[in-house]
Amino acid sequence: MKNTYNKRSPVEIQGASVQVRNGDVNGALRKLKKILDSDDRQKDLAKHEFFEKDSAKRKRAKDQARKRYLKEKQKRELGATSPTNSASGLRWMKSKRKRRKVLDRETALTTMMRKSSR
Q: What is the CA radius of gyration of the chain?
A: 27
Quickly state the pLDDT bin for 9 (edges 50, 70, 90).
low
Query: Model pTM?
Result: 0.37
pLDDT digits (tens, 9 = 90+) for 18-35: 889 998 999 999 998 888
Question: Which amino acid is it at 117?
Answer: S
Question: How many CB atoms within 10 Å of residue 17?
Answer: 9
Q: Nearest Cα to 102, choosing from 85, 79, 80, 81?
A: 85
In this prediction, residues 61-78 reach a mean pLDDT of 91
Predicted confidence (pLDDT) at residue 117 exceeds the cutoff of 80: no
User: Is the Cβ–Cβ distance between 56 and 87 less than 8 Å?
Assistant: no
Tens digit of each residue's pLDDT (9 = 90 or more) over 79-104: 765 555 555 555 666 678 878 888 88
